[in-house]
Amino acid sequence: MKRFLIIALLAAAGAGGYWFYSELQAEKAGFVLQGNVEIRQVNLGFKVSGRIENLKVDEGDTVHSGQVLASLEKVYFDETLAQMRAQRDQMAANFAKMQAGFRPEEIAQAKALVAEREATVENARIIKNRAQQLLNSPAGNQKSFDDAAAAERQAEAQLNSARQAARLQEAGYRKEDIDLAKAQLDERQATLKTAERQLADADLIAPNAGTVLSRVREAGAIVQAGDTVFVLSLDSPVWIRTYVAEPDLGRLRPGMAVTIHTDLSGGKTYGGKIGFISTAAEFTPKTVETTELRTALVYRLRVIVNGEASELRQGMPVTVTLEPKDLGTPVASREP
Question: Is residue 22 included in any domain, yes or no?
Answer: no
Question: Is residue 334 included in any domain, yes or no?
Answer: no
Choose the weakest-confidence range: 28-32, 192-196, 239-243: 28-32
pLDDT exceeds 90 at position 200? yes
- Domain extent, residue 116, equals 80-197
* 157 and 99 within one domain: yes
Query: Beta-carbon neighbour count of residue 240 at 10 Å?
Result: 28
Higher pLDDT, 58 or 140: 58
Residues 312-335: tens digit of each pLDDT? 888 888 889 887 666 654 444 443
**Rounded to the nearest 5°, which phi and psi values hold at 243?**
-135, 145
* 261 and 178 within one domain: no
* 268 and 159 within one domain: no
CATH code of residue 264: 2.40.30.170
Choose the weakest-confidence range: 143-152, 182-191, 225-234: 143-152
Residues 171-192: what's their mean pLDDT?
Answer: 88
Question: Is residue 7 included in any domain, yes or no?
Answer: no
CA distance linking residue 102 with residue 171, whole number of Å = 9
Choose the weakest-confidence range: 8-22, 71-85, 210-224, 289-303: 8-22
Write the DSSP symbol of residue 119.
H
* 299 and 245 within one domain: yes
Question: Is residue 114 included in any domain, yes or no?
Answer: yes
* 88 and 50 within one domain: no
Question: Is residue 258 included in any domain, yes or no?
Answer: yes
Residues 264-288: what's their mean pLDDT?
Answer: 77
Q: How many independent structural domains does the chain possess?
A: 3
Inter-residue long-range contacts of 99-108, CB under 8 Å, 24+ positions, other chains counted: 99/178, 101/169, 101/172, 101/173, 102/169, 102/170, 102/172, 106/169, 107/166, 107/169, 107/170
CATH code of residue 209: 2.40.50.100
User: What does pLDDT average to over the chain?
Assistant: 81
Question: Is residue 123 included in any domain, yes or no?
Answer: yes
* 117 and 102 within one domain: yes
What is the helix, strand, coil percentage profile of the chain, to 5?
Answer: 45, 25, 30
Q: What is the pLDDT of residue 297?
A: 75
Higher pLDDT, 187 or 101: 187
Residues 99-157: tens digit of each pLDDT? 877 777 777 787 788 888 888 888 888 888 877 777 777 766 777 777 778 888 888 88
- Please report which residue ranges of 30-103 form alpha helices under DSSP H: 75-100
Question: Is residue 309 included in any domain, yes or no?
Answer: yes
Residue 256, C-beta contacts closer than 8 angstroms, at least 6 positions apart: 273, 274, 322, 326
**Rounded to the nearest 5°, which phi and psi values hold at 291?**
-85, -5
* 213 and 116 within one domain: no
CA distance linking residue 110 with residue 127, whole number of Å = 26
Whole-model pTM: value is 0.62
* 70 and 210 within one domain: yes
Residues 253-269: tens digit of each pLDDT? 888 889 888 887 776 78
* 67 and 207 within one domain: yes
- pLDDT confidence tier of residue 6, bands split at 50, 70 and 90: low
* 218 and 124 within one domain: no
* 146 and 189 within one domain: yes
Q: What is the pLDDT of residue 335?
A: 38
Question: Is residue 175 included in any domain, yes or no?
Answer: yes
pLDDT exceeds 50 at position 232? yes
Nearest of 92, 89, 79, 93 to residue 195 by alpha carbon: 79
Q: What is the pLDDT of residue 235?
A: 82
